[in-house]
Amino acid sequence: MKKPLIAGNWKMNLNLQAAVELAADTAKRVADVTDVEVAVCPTFVHLAQVGHALKASNIALGAQNCYFEEEGAYTGEISTAMLIEAGCKYVIIGHSERRHIFGEADDLINAKVLKALSAGLRPILCVGETLDERKGEVTEKVVTKHVIEGLRDVSEKDASRLVVAYEPVWAIGTGVNATPEQAEQVHELIRGLLRERFGEEAATAIRIQYGGSVKPDNVAVLMAMPEIDGALVGGASLKADSFEKLVRYSR
């Protein structure tokens, strides 16, 4: 049986000392957890030091983005090889903030997914609709496009290393959460798309996370939904006590 994946996206928060302390504290708190996979994704400049603090722990290191070229004149970007060297196992790709603030399109996101997989990383592909898109009743169309185009040319043999995170944009950092039923409906859609793309066995193995104002007081009801296999957590991952509760309540 696949383990749920609880991943903390620290975004552009914390100085180095605070990041290392948070990593060490979190590692101590969840050291006995064996039935949930845990990961944290600090900012690029803190990856090596946070990775050192997590060494010998049961918490995986992840990055918040990557580029699809191996090296070269790409000012401000970071390669998958650099992430692996820093100790990363996961990389978040296509987060709504990358899509909507930085204008990343599906073809760029797809190139990053393919590069991450070829490098040996596990991409967390983020998909989800805006508030206007939900009000316009095009959630299914938007999410379908994100999934199909984001996973274009991904092979069936690589599919088991994928994670998909459904993040309704209107619920990220707003305190407004999709109901478990709303989330489950979209997760069922995503599972169906993965089944069409990769077949039943591979689709079942792929974990589909929910992200968007996940907190200790709502994680258990979300995780009780059959197609929700974990959470991609923002603000609640910035404090060790709340993140520990998320990990434990998701079991």
pLDDT, tens digit, 9 for 90 and up, residues 185-218: 999 999 999 999 999 999 999 999 999 889 999 9
Phi, then psi, of 204 in degrees rounded to 5 = -70, -30
Phi, then psi, of 92 in degrees rounded to 5 = -80, 130
**Secondary structure element (H or E) that encloses residue 63, with its range:** strand 59-63
Task: Give me Rg for the CA atoms of the chain.
Answer: 17
Instruction: Pick the catalytic residue from 95, 104, 129, 244.
Output: 95
Residue 171 has pLDDT above 90, yes or no: no
Residue 22 CB: number of other CB atoms within 10 A?
Answer: 24
Question: Which residue is listed with tokens 């957890």?
Answer: 33
**Which amino acid, residue 80?**
T
DSSP 8-state assignment for residue 234:
S
| CA 58 to chain CA mean position, Å | 17
Residue 167 annotated in active site = yes
Instruction: Pick the catalytic residue from 37, 97, 129, 167.
Output: 167
**Which amino acid, residue 152?**
R
| CA 84 to chain CA mean position, Å | 17
Q: What was the pLDDT predicted at 170?
A: 83
| Contact (CB, 8 A) for 105 and 79 | no
Q: What is the pLDDT of residues 130-156, one digit of tens each?
A: 989 998 999 999 999 999 999 999 999
Q: What was the pLDDT predicted at 192?
A: 98
Domains with residue ranges and CATH for the chain: 5-249 (3.20.20.70)
| Contact (CB, 8 A) for 207 and 4 | yes
pTM exceeding the 0.85 threshold for the entire prediction: yes
Task: For residue 77, give the 3-state DSSP assignment.
Answer: coil
In 3D space, the residue among 43, 42, 44, 4 whose CA is nearest the CA of residue 23 turns out to be 42
- 37-41 and 207-210 beta bridge pairing: unpaired
Q: What was the pLDDT predicted at 111?
A: 98
Dihedral angle of Cα 124, 130, 134, 137, to the nearest 10 degrees: -90
Residue 95 annotated in active site = yes
